[in-house]
Amino acid sequence: MATNNNEKLPKIGMLYLDHVLRFFDKSNFRGWPDKIETVIYHWKNDKERFIREVKRKKIDILIGNIPATAYETFREIARALPEVEFIPSMDTQFSNKSKENVTRFAWKYDIPIPKTYVFYDKKKAEKFIAETEFPKIIKKSYGPSNYGGYFVHKVDSKQEAHNLLAQKKYHPAYFQDFVPMSADVRVMLIGHKPVCAFWRRPPEGEWLTNTSQGGSMDYMDVPKELLDLAVQVSKAANAEYWACDIAVGEDGQYRILECATAFAAFPYIRDWIGQYLMWKFSNGRFAKPNIPLYNWEELGKMDASVLRTLRYITFGKYTPSYDGAYFLDKKVRQTEEGQFYLHELDKMYPILTTIDRTTEEWASEKWNFQDNYGKSIRKVHVKSNPPKEAVQEVIAEDKTEEMLEQTETITNNKKQKPLLSKKKMRKILTSVEGISKKKSKKILKKFSLLDLEETLDNSPKTLVDELPWFKKKMLKQLKSIWDDFKEKLEKKD
Ligand SMILES: Nc1ncnc2c1ncn2[C@@H]1O[C@H](COP(=O)(O)OP(=O)(O)O)[C@@H](O)[C@H]1O
Ligand SMILES: [Mg+2]
Protein backbone atom coordinates (compact mmCIF):
# COMPACT_ATOMS: atom_id res chain seq x y z
CA MET A 1 0.00 0.00 0.00
CA ALA A 2 1.27 3.47 -0.83
CA THR A 3 2.10 5.57 2.18
CA ASN A 4 1.56 9.26 2.33
CA ASN A 5 3.89 10.39 5.00
CA ASN A 6 3.60 14.02 4.14
CA GLU A 7 -0.16 14.16 4.03
CA LYS A 8 -1.67 16.15 6.85
CA LEU A 9 -3.52 14.00 9.34
CA PRO A 10 -7.02 14.95 10.47
CA LYS A 11 -7.37 16.50 13.90
CA ILE A 12 -8.82 14.00 16.34
CA GLY A 13 -10.90 14.87 19.37
CA MET A 14 -12.05 12.58 22.18
CA LEU A 15 -15.71 13.03 22.98
CA TYR A 16 -16.47 12.63 26.68
CA LEU A 17 -19.51 13.29 28.83
CA ASP A 18 -19.57 14.08 32.51
CA HIS A 19 -20.58 11.07 34.64
CA VAL A 20 -20.11 8.67 31.73
CA LEU A 21 -17.55 5.90 31.60
CA ARG A 22 -14.91 6.63 29.00
CA PHE A 23 -14.57 3.93 26.41
CA PHE A 24 -11.35 5.36 24.93
CA ASP A 25 -8.58 7.52 26.07
CA LYS A 26 -5.57 8.89 24.27
CA SER A 27 -3.45 5.87 25.19
CA ASN A 28 -5.60 3.75 22.88
CA PHE A 29 -4.19 5.87 20.03
CA ARG A 30 -0.57 5.25 20.86
CA GLY A 31 1.74 6.59 18.19
CA TRP A 32 -0.61 9.21 16.77
CA PRO A 33 1.87 12.02 16.17
CA ASP A 34 -0.43 15.01 16.60
CA LYS A 35 -2.10 16.38 19.66
CA ILE A 36 -5.42 14.71 20.38
CA GLU A 37 -8.03 17.14 21.67
CA THR A 38 -10.60 16.48 24.36
CA VAL A 39 -14.12 17.86 24.41
CA ILE A 40 -16.38 17.22 27.38
CA TYR A 41 -20.14 17.55 27.31
CA HIS A 42 -21.42 18.81 30.65
CA TRP A 43 -25.16 18.11 30.09
CA LYS A 44 -27.72 20.77 31.01
CA ASN A 45 -27.83 23.43 28.29
CA ASP A 46 -24.33 22.64 27.17
CA LYS A 47 -25.09 22.12 23.50
CA GLU A 48 -24.08 25.52 22.12
CA ARG A 49 -20.92 25.74 24.20
CA PHE A 50 -19.96 22.23 23.15
CA ILE A 51 -20.40 23.10 19.47
CA ARG A 52 -18.28 26.22 19.89
CA GLU A 53 -15.51 24.27 21.56
CA VAL A 54 -15.37 21.70 18.77
CA LYS A 55 -15.16 24.51 16.21
CA ARG A 56 -12.57 26.42 18.20
CA LYS A 57 -10.37 23.36 18.48
CA LYS A 58 -10.74 22.77 14.73
CA ILE A 59 -11.54 19.12 15.24
CA ASP A 60 -12.10 17.01 12.14
CA ILE A 61 -13.03 13.75 13.81
CA LEU A 62 -14.81 13.30 17.13
CA ILE A 63 -14.52 9.85 18.63
CA GLY A 64 -16.77 8.49 21.35
CA ASN A 65 -19.89 6.68 22.42
CA ILE A 66 -23.03 8.65 23.20
CA PRO A 67 -25.21 7.34 26.02
CA ALA A 68 -28.93 6.91 25.42
CA THR A 69 -30.02 10.02 27.30
CA ALA A 70 -27.80 12.30 25.20
CA TYR A 71 -28.47 10.63 21.87
CA GLU A 72 -31.08 13.04 20.50
CA THR A 73 -29.06 16.07 21.59
CA PHE A 74 -26.04 14.69 19.78
CA ARG A 75 -28.02 14.20 16.61
CA GLU A 76 -28.66 17.94 16.80
CA ILE A 77 -25.02 18.67 17.59
CA ALA A 78 -23.87 16.53 14.67
CA ARG A 79 -26.17 18.50 12.37
CA ALA A 80 -24.70 21.76 13.59
CA LEU A 81 -21.22 20.43 12.82
CA PRO A 82 -21.56 19.07 9.27
CA GLU A 83 -17.81 19.23 8.67
CA VAL A 84 -17.04 17.08 11.69
CA GLU A 85 -17.02 13.31 11.32
CA PHE A 86 -18.44 11.53 14.33
CA ILE A 87 -16.98 8.08 15.02
CA PRO A 88 -19.08 6.03 15.34
CA SER A 89 -21.59 8.04 13.35
CA MET A 90 -24.89 8.99 14.95
CA ASP A 91 -26.56 6.55 12.56
CA THR A 92 -24.28 3.75 13.71
CA GLN A 93 -25.11 4.67 17.32
CA PHE A 94 -28.86 4.56 16.67
CA SER A 95 -29.07 1.19 18.42
CA ASN A 96 -27.37 2.56 21.53
CA LYS A 97 -30.42 4.65 22.40
CA SER A 98 -33.05 2.04 23.13
CA LYS A 99 -34.23 -1.49 22.62
CA GLU A 100 -36.90 -0.09 20.36
CA ASN A 101 -34.16 1.33 18.12
CA VAL A 102 -32.36 -2.01 18.03
CA THR A 103 -35.64 -3.54 16.91
CA ARG A 104 -36.27 -0.95 14.19
CA PHE A 105 -32.71 -1.38 12.95
CA ALA A 106 -33.19 -5.16 12.82
CA TRP A 107 -36.54 -4.81 11.03
CA LYS A 108 -35.02 -2.62 8.36
CA TYR A 109 -32.11 -4.96 7.64
CA ASP A 110 -33.91 -8.28 8.02
CA ILE A 111 -31.81 -9.25 10.99
CA PRO A 112 -33.31 -12.14 12.97
CA ILE A 113 -34.58 -11.11 16.42
CA PRO A 114 -37.23 -12.58 18.73
CA LYS A 115 -40.61 -11.48 17.39
CA THR A 116 -41.14 -8.01 18.84
CA TYR A 117 -44.16 -5.74 19.39
CA VAL A 118 -43.89 -2.06 20.33
CA PHE A 119 -46.87 0.04 21.49
CA TYR A 120 -47.08 3.69 22.39
CA ASP A 121 -50.84 3.48 22.73
CA LYS A 122 -51.87 1.90 26.05
CA LYS A 123 -55.15 0.67 24.64
CA LYS A 124 -53.40 -1.10 21.80
CA ALA A 125 -51.03 -2.70 24.29
CA GLU A 126 -54.01 -3.98 26.34
CA LYS A 127 -55.69 -5.30 23.23
CA PHE A 128 -52.48 -7.08 22.30
CA ILE A 129 -52.30 -8.66 25.77
CA ALA A 130 -55.89 -9.84 25.45
CA GLU A 131 -55.20 -11.55 22.13
CA THR A 132 -51.66 -12.85 22.29
CA GLU A 133 -50.19 -16.05 23.66
CA PHE A 134 -47.93 -16.50 26.65
CA PRO A 135 -45.20 -16.64 27.93
CA LYS A 136 -43.94 -13.28 26.71
CA ILE A 137 -41.01 -11.10 27.60
CA ILE A 138 -41.61 -7.47 28.56
CA LYS A 139 -38.68 -5.04 28.55
CA LYS A 140 -38.03 -1.46 29.38
CA SER A 141 -36.96 0.01 26.06
CA TYR A 142 -35.10 3.11 27.16
CA GLY A 143 -33.31 4.16 30.28
CA PRO A 144 -29.96 5.33 31.47
CA SER A 145 -29.15 2.17 33.39
CA ASN A 146 -29.57 -1.00 31.42
CA TYR A 147 -28.24 -3.50 33.91
CA GLY A 148 -28.35 -6.94 32.42
CA GLY A 149 -31.79 -8.33 32.82
CA TYR A 150 -33.00 -5.99 35.53
CA PHE A 151 -35.68 -4.47 33.31
CA VAL A 152 -36.46 -7.70 31.49
CA HIS A 153 -39.44 -9.71 32.73
CA LYS A 154 -40.99 -13.00 31.79
CA VAL A 155 -44.79 -12.96 32.06
CA ASP A 156 -46.77 -16.18 31.92
CA SER A 157 -50.33 -14.90 31.61
CA LYS A 158 -52.52 -12.02 30.49
CA GLN A 159 -53.02 -11.01 34.10
CA GLU A 160 -49.30 -10.96 34.85
CA ALA A 161 -48.61 -8.87 31.75
CA HIS A 162 -51.36 -6.43 32.65
CA ASN A 163 -50.17 -6.12 36.25
CA LEU A 164 -46.56 -5.67 35.27
CA LEU A 165 -47.28 -2.83 32.87
CA ALA A 166 -49.64 -1.19 35.36
CA GLN A 167 -46.89 -1.29 37.96
CA LYS A 168 -43.83 -0.46 35.87
CA LYS A 169 -45.48 1.98 33.47
CA TYR A 170 -42.94 1.17 30.76
CA HIS A 171 -43.41 3.39 27.78
CA PRO A 172 -43.47 2.24 25.09
CA ALA A 173 -44.82 -1.18 25.98
CA TYR A 174 -42.20 -3.48 24.49
CA PHE A 175 -43.01 -7.19 24.14
CA GLN A 176 -41.11 -10.11 22.72
CA ASP A 177 -41.96 -13.72 22.17
CA PHE A 178 -40.17 -15.77 24.79
CA VAL A 179 -37.39 -17.69 23.06
CA PRO A 180 -36.24 -20.78 24.96
CA MET A 181 -32.48 -20.69 24.67
CA SER A 182 -29.51 -22.59 25.94
CA ALA A 183 -27.02 -19.73 25.83
CA ASP A 184 -26.12 -16.50 24.18
CA VAL A 185 -22.87 -15.28 22.72
CA ARG A 186 -21.35 -11.83 22.98
CA VAL A 187 -19.37 -11.05 19.82
CA MET A 188 -17.15 -7.98 19.48
CA LEU A 189 -16.09 -6.78 16.05
CA ILE A 190 -13.64 -4.28 14.64
CA GLY A 191 -14.01 -3.29 10.99
CA HIS A 192 -16.61 -6.06 10.68
CA LYS A 193 -14.16 -8.72 11.83
CA PRO A 194 -14.95 -10.69 14.99
CA VAL A 195 -12.14 -10.07 17.46
CA CYS A 196 -13.61 -11.58 20.62
CA ALA A 197 -16.55 -13.82 21.43
CA PHE A 198 -17.74 -15.70 24.45
CA TRP A 199 -20.63 -17.84 25.60
CA ARG A 200 -22.87 -16.89 28.45
CA ARG A 201 -24.89 -19.69 29.91
CA PRO A 202 -27.71 -19.38 32.39
CA PRO A 203 -27.55 -21.20 35.72
CA GLU A 204 -29.44 -24.50 35.91
CA GLY A 205 -33.16 -24.03 35.47
CA GLU A 206 -32.94 -20.29 34.80
CA TRP A 207 -33.74 -18.45 31.61
CA LEU A 208 -31.61 -15.32 31.99
CA THR A 209 -28.16 -15.81 30.50
CA ASN A 210 -26.63 -12.96 32.44
CA THR A 211 -23.62 -14.26 34.24
CA SER A 212 -24.22 -11.93 37.13
CA GLN A 213 -27.04 -14.26 38.15
CA GLY A 214 -24.58 -17.11 38.61
CA GLY A 215 -24.24 -18.18 35.00
CA SER A 216 -20.95 -19.02 33.36
CA MET A 217 -18.91 -17.88 30.41
CA ASP A 218 -16.39 -19.47 28.12
CA TYR A 219 -14.59 -18.74 24.89
CA MET A 220 -14.57 -22.07 23.07
CA ASP A 221 -16.06 -23.16 19.75
CA VAL A 222 -18.32 -20.28 18.80
CA PRO A 223 -19.87 -21.45 15.50
CA LYS A 224 -18.81 -19.76 12.29
CA GLU A 225 -22.44 -19.24 11.30
CA LEU A 226 -23.06 -17.24 14.46
CA LEU A 227 -20.04 -15.06 13.67
CA ASP A 228 -21.47 -14.58 10.18
CA LEU A 229 -24.63 -13.12 11.67
CA ALA A 230 -22.57 -10.75 13.84
CA VAL A 231 -20.68 -9.60 10.73
CA GLN A 232 -23.94 -9.01 8.86
CA VAL A 233 -25.24 -6.84 11.70
CA SER A 234 -21.99 -4.88 12.02
CA LYS A 235 -22.07 -4.16 8.28
CA ALA A 236 -25.71 -3.07 8.41
CA ALA A 237 -24.77 -0.61 11.15
CA ASN A 238 -21.67 0.52 9.22
CA ALA A 239 -19.84 0.18 12.52
CA GLU A 240 -16.15 0.77 13.09
CA TYR A 241 -16.52 -1.27 16.27
CA TRP A 242 -19.50 -3.18 17.46
CA ALA A 243 -20.83 -5.80 19.88
CA CYS A 244 -23.82 -8.10 19.51
CA ASP A 245 -25.46 -10.52 21.90
CA ILE A 246 -26.75 -13.44 19.91
CA ALA A 247 -29.19 -15.92 21.42
CA VAL A 248 -28.80 -19.56 20.49
CA GLY A 249 -32.34 -20.89 20.60
CA GLU A 250 -33.31 -24.40 21.55
CA ASP A 251 -34.70 -24.48 18.01
CA GLY A 252 -31.13 -24.00 16.75
CA GLN A 253 -31.84 -20.49 15.41
CA TYR A 254 -29.64 -17.48 16.04
CA ARG A 255 -31.31 -14.22 17.03
CA ILE A 256 -29.92 -10.84 17.97
CA LEU A 257 -30.79 -9.74 21.51
CA GLU A 258 -28.72 -6.61 21.75
CA CYS A 259 -26.22 -4.67 19.67
CA ALA A 260 -24.34 -1.45 20.26
CA THR A 261 -21.09 0.43 19.92
CA ALA A 262 -20.98 0.84 23.69
CA PHE A 263 -19.94 -2.30 25.48
CA ALA A 264 -17.47 -3.50 28.05
CA ALA A 265 -14.16 -4.46 26.46
CA PHE A 266 -10.72 -5.29 27.73
CA PRO A 267 -8.13 -2.52 27.26
CA TYR A 268 -6.27 -4.47 24.60
CA ILE A 269 -9.45 -4.58 22.52
CA ARG A 270 -9.80 -0.84 22.82
CA ASP A 271 -6.15 -0.56 21.71
CA TRP A 272 -7.03 -2.56 18.63
CA ILE A 273 -9.92 -0.25 17.89
CA GLY A 274 -7.57 2.72 18.26
CA GLN A 275 -5.12 1.11 15.82
CA TYR A 276 -7.91 0.36 13.40
CA LEU A 277 -9.14 3.96 13.52
CA MET A 278 -5.61 5.33 13.06
CA TRP A 279 -5.29 3.13 10.00
CA LYS A 280 -8.63 4.39 8.69
CA PHE A 281 -7.80 8.07 9.25
CA SER A 282 -4.19 8.02 8.04
CA ASN A 283 -4.58 6.73 4.52
CA GLY A 284 -2.25 3.82 5.09
CA ARG A 285 0.40 5.61 7.12
CA PHE A 286 -0.45 3.46 10.11
CA ALA A 287 -0.62 -0.29 9.70
CA LYS A 288 -3.91 -2.13 9.87
CA PRO A 289 -3.88 -4.29 13.00
CA ASN A 290 -3.60 -7.99 12.40
CA ILE A 291 -6.12 -9.76 14.63
CA PRO A 292 -6.46 -13.49 13.96
CA LEU A 293 -9.89 -15.03 14.09
CA TYR A 294 -10.52 -17.12 17.20
CA ASN A 295 -7.61 -15.42 18.99
CA TRP A 296 -10.02 -15.29 21.95
CA GLU A 297 -9.82 -19.02 22.47
CA GLU A 298 -6.14 -18.61 23.29
CA LEU A 299 -6.28 -15.29 25.11
CA GLY A 300 -9.34 -16.48 27.02
CA LYS A 301 -7.22 -19.10 28.73
CA MET A 302 -5.61 -16.33 30.69
CA ASP A 303 -7.09 -15.14 33.90
CA ALA A 304 -9.38 -12.14 33.64
CA SER A 305 -7.08 -10.22 35.95
CA VAL A 306 -4.30 -10.66 33.39
CA LEU A 307 -6.53 -9.73 30.47
CA ARG A 308 -7.50 -6.57 32.30
CA THR A 309 -3.92 -5.39 32.37
CA LEU A 310 -2.63 -6.52 28.98
CA ARG A 311 -2.06 -3.73 26.49
CA TYR A 312 -1.02 -3.43 22.85
CA ILE A 313 -1.19 -7.08 21.88
CA THR A 314 0.07 -7.69 18.36
CA PHE A 315 0.17 -10.82 16.27
CA GLY A 316 2.54 -11.83 13.51
CA LYS A 317 1.01 -12.42 10.09
CA TYR A 318 0.36 -15.99 9.12
CA THR A 319 2.96 -17.67 6.97
CA PRO A 320 2.96 -21.46 6.68
CA SER A 321 6.57 -21.76 7.83
CA TYR A 322 6.40 -19.24 10.61
CA ASP A 323 6.47 -20.75 14.09
CA GLY A 324 4.86 -17.74 15.69
CA ALA A 325 1.68 -18.51 13.82
CA TYR A 326 1.39 -21.99 15.20
CA PHE A 327 -2.02 -21.53 16.64
CA LEU A 328 -3.40 -20.45 13.31
CA ASP A 329 -1.97 -23.53 11.71
CA LYS A 330 -2.74 -26.23 14.18
CA LYS A 331 -6.48 -26.44 14.26
CA VAL A 332 -9.21 -27.44 11.94
CA ARG A 333 -12.72 -26.07 12.33
CA GLN A 334 -15.96 -27.79 11.66
CA THR A 335 -18.52 -25.55 9.96
CA GLU A 336 -21.75 -26.16 8.10
CA GLU A 337 -19.76 -25.84 4.88
CA GLY A 338 -17.17 -28.39 5.95
CA GLN A 339 -13.75 -28.32 7.54
CA PHE A 340 -11.38 -25.35 7.41
CA TYR A 341 -7.96 -24.56 8.75
CA LEU A 342 -8.03 -21.59 11.04
CA HIS A 343 -5.87 -19.54 8.68
CA GLU A 344 -8.30 -20.25 5.88
CA LEU A 345 -11.20 -19.09 8.00
CA ASP A 346 -9.23 -16.04 9.06
CA LYS A 347 -9.01 -14.93 5.42
CA MET A 348 -12.79 -15.02 5.14
CA TYR A 349 -13.10 -12.28 7.76
CA PRO A 350 -11.01 -9.33 6.59
CA ILE A 351 -10.92 -6.11 8.54
CA LEU A 352 -12.80 -3.63 6.38
CA THR A 353 -13.23 0.12 6.30
CA THR A 354 -16.59 1.64 6.97
CA ILE A 355 -18.38 3.80 4.44
CA ASP A 356 -18.27 7.56 4.94
CA ARG A 357 -21.79 8.87 4.55
CA THR A 358 -23.09 12.41 4.56
CA THR A 359 -26.82 11.71 4.59
CA GLU A 360 -28.80 10.84 7.71
CA GLU A 361 -30.24 7.37 7.78
CA TRP A 362 -32.15 7.64 11.07
CA ALA A 363 -33.24 11.29 11.16
CA SER A 364 -34.97 12.15 14.41
CA GLU A 365 -37.97 13.76 12.71
CA LYS A 366 -38.93 10.32 11.59
CA TRP A 367 -37.25 7.89 13.98
CA ASN A 368 -37.43 9.51 17.39
CA PHE A 369 -40.71 7.76 18.17
CA GLN A 370 -40.23 8.33 21.84
CA ASP A 371 -40.53 12.08 21.59
CA ASN A 372 -42.65 12.19 18.47
CA TYR A 373 -45.32 9.77 19.66
CA GLY A 374 -44.63 9.45 23.33
CA LYS A 375 -45.76 12.95 24.28
CA SER A 376 -48.06 11.68 26.99
CA ILE A 377 -45.16 10.47 29.06
CA ARG A 378 -42.40 12.40 30.71
CA LYS A 379 -39.96 13.45 28.09
CA VAL A 380 -36.37 12.84 28.98
CA HIS A 381 -34.98 16.03 27.62
CA VAL A 382 -31.65 17.76 27.74
CA LYS A 383 -32.70 20.06 30.49
CA SER A 384 -33.78 17.40 32.91
CA ASN A 385 -30.85 15.29 32.08
CA PRO A 386 -27.88 14.96 34.34
CA PRO A 387 -28.04 11.41 35.57
CA LYS A 388 -27.21 10.88 39.20
CA GLU A 389 -24.84 8.05 38.66
CA ALA A 390 -22.44 7.12 35.96
CA VAL A 391 -24.32 6.17 32.85
CA GLN A 392 -23.44 2.59 32.09
CA GLU A 393 -22.07 1.39 28.83
CA VAL A 394 -25.11 0.08 27.09
CA ILE A 395 -24.46 -3.63 27.12
CA ALA A 396 -21.74 -3.68 29.70
CA GLU A 397 -23.57 -5.86 32.12
CA ASP A 398 -22.62 -8.72 34.43
CA LYS A 399 -19.19 -10.38 34.51
CA THR A 400 -17.83 -8.35 31.67
CA GLU A 401 -18.61 -5.29 33.66
CA GLU A 402 -17.20 -6.77 36.81
CA MET A 403 -14.03 -7.62 34.96
CA LEU A 404 -13.73 -4.12 33.73
CA GLU A 405 -14.58 -2.30 36.87
CA GLN A 406 -10.99 -2.35 37.90
CA THR A 407 -9.75 -1.12 34.55
CA GLU A 408 -8.11 2.16 35.22
CA THR A 409 -8.54 3.72 31.86
CA ILE A 410 -12.31 3.65 31.74
CA THR A 411 -13.35 4.22 35.30
CA ASN A 412 -13.08 7.92 34.85
CA ASN A 413 -16.59 8.49 36.01
CA LYS A 414 -15.81 11.05 38.63
CA LYS A 415 -17.92 14.11 38.45
CA GLN A 416 -15.96 16.77 36.61
CA LYS A 417 -15.69 19.74 38.89
CA PRO A 418 -13.41 22.70 38.53
CA LEU A 419 -10.45 22.60 40.89
CA LEU A 420 -10.68 26.27 41.69
CA SER A 421 -13.36 28.78 42.48
CA LYS A 422 -13.80 31.70 40.10
CA LYS A 423 -12.19 33.97 42.62
CA LYS A 424 -9.10 31.80 43.00
CA MET A 425 -8.78 31.42 39.25
CA ARG A 426 -8.97 35.20 38.84
CA LYS A 427 -6.21 35.52 41.38
CA ILE A 428 -3.99 33.23 39.34
CA LEU A 429 -4.82 35.06 36.13
CA THR A 430 -4.18 38.52 37.52
CA SER A 431 -0.86 37.43 38.98
CA VAL A 432 0.36 37.39 35.37
CA GLU A 433 1.95 40.59 34.17
CA GLY A 434 -0.43 42.33 31.77
CA ILE A 435 -3.64 40.55 32.89
CA SER A 436 -5.80 43.09 34.65
CA LYS A 437 -8.88 42.32 36.68
CA LYS A 438 -10.97 43.33 33.69
CA LYS A 439 -9.04 41.05 31.37
CA SER A 440 -9.30 38.13 33.78
CA LYS A 441 -13.07 38.61 33.68
CA LYS A 442 -12.97 38.58 29.89
CA ILE A 443 -11.15 35.26 29.94
CA LEU A 444 -13.69 33.76 32.30
CA LYS A 445 -16.49 35.01 30.12
CA LYS A 446 -15.07 33.21 27.12
CA PHE A 447 -14.17 29.99 28.98
CA SER A 448 -16.05 28.25 31.73
CA LEU A 449 -13.90 27.38 34.73
CA LEU A 450 -13.79 23.76 33.69
CA ASP A 451 -12.90 24.67 30.10
CA LEU A 452 -10.19 26.99 31.22
CA GLU A 453 -8.58 24.43 33.48
CA GLU A 454 -8.74 21.87 30.74
CA THR A 455 -7.26 24.37 28.27
CA LEU A 456 -4.42 25.25 30.64
CA ASP A 457 -3.68 21.57 31.08
CA ASN A 458 -3.81 20.47 27.49
CA SER A 459 -3.90 23.28 24.96
CA PRO A 460 -2.83 26.58 26.56
CA LYS A 461 -2.04 28.03 23.14
CA THR A 462 -5.78 28.24 22.58
CA LEU A 463 -5.78 31.37 24.75
CA VAL A 464 -3.51 33.17 22.29
CA ASP A 465 -5.62 31.93 19.38
CA GLU A 466 -8.89 32.98 20.95
CA LEU A 467 -8.05 36.30 22.58
CA PRO A 468 -6.44 38.86 20.28
CA TRP A 469 -4.83 40.74 23.17
CA PHE A 470 -3.35 37.66 24.83
CA LYS A 471 0.44 37.76 24.37
CA LYS A 472 2.75 34.78 24.09
CA LYS A 473 4.71 36.18 27.01
CA MET A 474 1.61 36.13 29.20
CA LEU A 475 1.01 32.56 28.21
CA LYS A 476 4.47 31.50 29.24
CA GLN A 477 4.05 33.09 32.64
CA LEU A 478 0.53 31.78 33.17
CA LYS A 479 1.46 28.27 32.14
CA SER A 480 4.32 28.21 34.61
CA ILE A 481 2.11 29.47 37.45
CA TRP A 482 -0.53 26.93 36.53
CA ASP A 483 1.93 24.06 36.39
CA ASP A 484 3.33 25.04 39.79
CA PHE A 485 -0.16 25.07 41.21
CA LYS A 486 -0.94 21.64 39.77
CA GLU A 487 2.33 20.23 41.04
CA LYS A 488 1.59 21.39 44.55
CA LEU A 489 -1.87 19.91 44.29
CA GLU A 490 -0.50 16.53 43.26
CA LYS A 491 1.94 16.53 46.13
CA LYS A 492 -0.91 17.10 48.52
CA ASP A 493 -2.85 14.06 47.23
N1 LIG B 1 -37.13 -12.73 23.95
C2 LIG B 1 -36.42 -13.36 24.90
N3 LIG B 1 -36.64 -14.64 25.20
C4 LIG B 1 -35.94 -15.28 26.18
N5 LIG B 1 -34.99 -14.70 26.91
C6 LIG B 1 -34.70 -13.40 26.66
C7 LIG B 1 -35.39 -12.66 25.65
N8 LIG B 1 -34.91 -11.42 25.64
C9 LIG B 1 -33.96 -11.38 26.59
N10 LIG B 1 -33.81 -12.56 27.22
C11 LIG B 1 -32.86 -12.88 28.30
O12 LIG B 1 -32.76 -11.72 29.12
C13 LIG B 1 -31.43 -11.23 29.13
C14 LIG B 1 -31.46 -9.71 29.16
O15 LIG B 1 -32.12 -9.20 28.03
P16 LIG B 1 -31.50 -8.04 27.16
O17 LIG B 1 -32.43 -7.77 26.02
O18 LIG B 1 -30.11 -8.38 26.84
O19 LIG B 1 -31.59 -6.79 28.15
P20 LIG B 1 -30.53 -6.11 29.13
O21 LIG B 1 -30.40 -4.73 28.60
O22 LIG B 1 -31.17 -6.13 30.47
O23 LIG B 1 -29.25 -6.88 29.05
C24 LIG B 1 -30.78 -11.81 27.89
O25 LIG B 1 -29.39 -11.93 28.04
C26 LIG B 1 -31.47 -13.15 27.76
O27 LIG B 1 -30.87 -14.10 28.63
MG1 LIG C 1 -28.22 -7.89 27.66
Of 257, 397, 398, best ligand 1 pocket probe by most atoms within 8 Å of the beta carbon? 257
Whole-number average pLDDT of the chain? 87
What is the C-alpha separation between 283 and 22, in angstroms, rounded?
27
The continuous run of DSSP H or E covering 86 comes out as strand 85-87
Kindly state the average pLDDT of the residues 474-481: 92
Beta-strand pair 85-87/116-119: unpaired
Q: Is the CB of 117 within 6 Å of ligand 1?
A: no
Question: Rg of the chain over CA atoms, in angstroms?
Answer: 25
Q: Is the CB of 401 within 6 Å of ligand 1?
A: no
Least confident of 5-14, 21-30, 113-122, 371-380: 371-380
CATH of the domain at 154: 3.30.1490.20
Of the residues 126, 160, 177, which one is the last residue of a structural domain?
177
Predicted pLDDT of residue 30: 96
What is the C-alpha separation between 431 and 461, in angstroms, rounded?
18
Let me know if residue 372 belongs to a domain.
no
Predicted pLDDT of residue 60: 98
Predicted pLDDT of residue 460: 82
Q: Is the CB of 397 within 6 Å of ligand 1?
A: yes
Kindly state the average pLDDT of the residues 111-133: 96
Shared domain check, 201 and 59: yes
What is the C-alpha separation between 281 and 7, in angstroms, rounded?
11
Distance between Cα 150 and ligand 2 center (Å): 9
Q: Extract the runs of DSSP E, i.e. beta strands, from 179-291.
A: 181-190, 193-201, 216-218, 241-249, 254-260
Residue 6 has a CB neighbour count (10 Å cut-off) of 6
Let me know if residue 374 belongs to a domain.
no
Predicted pLDDT of residue 13: 98
Predicted pLDDT of residue 7: 77
Q: Is the CB of 178 within 6 Å of ligand 1?
A: yes
Shared domain check, 234 and 326: yes
Predicted pLDDT of residue 462: 80
Predicted pLDDT of residue 403: 41
Let me know if residue 441 belongs to a domain.
yes
**Tens digits of residue pLDDT in 156-197:** 999 999 999 999 989 999 999 999 998 999 999 999 999 999
Range(s) of the domain holding residue 166: 115-177
Atom of ligand 1 nearest to the CA of 179: 3
Shared domain check, 475 and 396: no
265: pLDDT strictly greater than 70? yes
Beta-strand pair 12-17/37-41: parallel
Least confident of 1-15, 398-412, 451-465, 473-487: 398-412
Distance between Cα 340 and ligand 2 center (Å): 32
Let me know if residue 141 belongs to a domain.
yes
Percent of the chain with pLDDT over 70: 85
Let me know if residue 68 belongs to a domain.
yes
Atom of ligand 1 nearest to the CA of 245: 18
Residue 324 has a CB neighbour count (10 Å cut-off) of 11
Of the residues 162, 177, 192, which one is the last residue of a structural domain?
177
Question: Which comes out higher in pLDDT, residue 329 or 347?
Answer: 347
Shared domain check, 360 and 240: yes
Predicted pLDDT of residue 406: 33
392: pLDDT strictly greater than 50? no
Let me know if residue 431 belongs to a domain.
yes
349: pLDDT strictly greater than 60? yes
First CA to last CA distance, the chain:
49
Prior bond of 172 cis (ω within 30°):
yes
What is the C-alpha separation between 107 and 211, in angstroms, rounded?
28
Question: Which comes out higher in pLDDT, residue 372 or 107?
Answer: 107
What is the C-alpha separation between 134 and 155, in angstroms, rounded?
7
Atom of ligand 1 nearest to the CA of 146: 21
Let me know if residue 356 belongs to a domain.
yes
User: How many domains in the chain?
Assistant: 4
**Tens digits of residue pLDDT in 211-250:** 556 677 899 999 999 999 999 999 999 999 999 999 999 9
Shared domain check, 207 and 74: yes
pTM greater than 0.75 (yes/no)? yes
Predicted pLDDT of residue 208: 82
Q: Give backbone dihedrals phi and psi of 62, rounded to 5 degrees, phi first.
A: -110, 120
Of 152, 178, 185, best ligand 1 pocket probe by most atoms within 8 Å of the beta carbon? 152
Question: Which comes out higher in pLDDT, residue 245 or 408?
Answer: 245
Distance between Cα 376 and ligand 1 center (Å): 27
Q: Is the CB of 103 within 6 Å of ligand 1?
A: no
Shared domain check, 338 and 212: yes
Q: Is the CB of 184 within 6 Å of ligand 1?
A: yes
Question: Which comes out higher in pLDDT, residue 208 or 187?
Answer: 187
CATH of the domain at 70: 3.30.470.20
Shared domain check, 256 and 206: yes
The residue whose CA is least distant from atom 17 of ligand 1 is: 257
Question: Which comes out higher in pLDDT, residue 414 or 391?
Answer: 391
**Tens digits of residue pLDDT in 38-95:** 999 999 899 999 999 999 999 999 999 999 999 999 999 999 999 999 999 999 999 9
Shared domain check, 123 and 98: no
Predicted pLDDT of residue 288: 95
Written as one letter, the residue type at 388 is: K
What is the C-alpha separation between 206 and 210, in angstroms, rounded?
10
Let me know if residue 373 belongs to a domain.
no
Shared domain check, 283 and 244: yes
Residue 325 — very low, low, confident or very high, per pLDDT cuts 50/70/90? Answer: low
Of the residues 129, 155, 177, which one is the last residue of a structural domain?
177
Percent of the chain with pLDDT over 90: 68
Shared domain check, 232 and 273: yes
Question: Which comes out higher in pLDDT, residue 96 or 211?
Answer: 96
Shared domain check, 145 and 78: no
- Among 40, 79, 87, 41, smallest CA distance to 60 is for 87
Q: Note the ligand closest to the C-alpha atom of 203.
A: 1
Kindly state the average pLDDT of the residues 482-493: 79
The residues facing 197 across adjacent strands are 187
Shared domain check, 329 and 231: yes
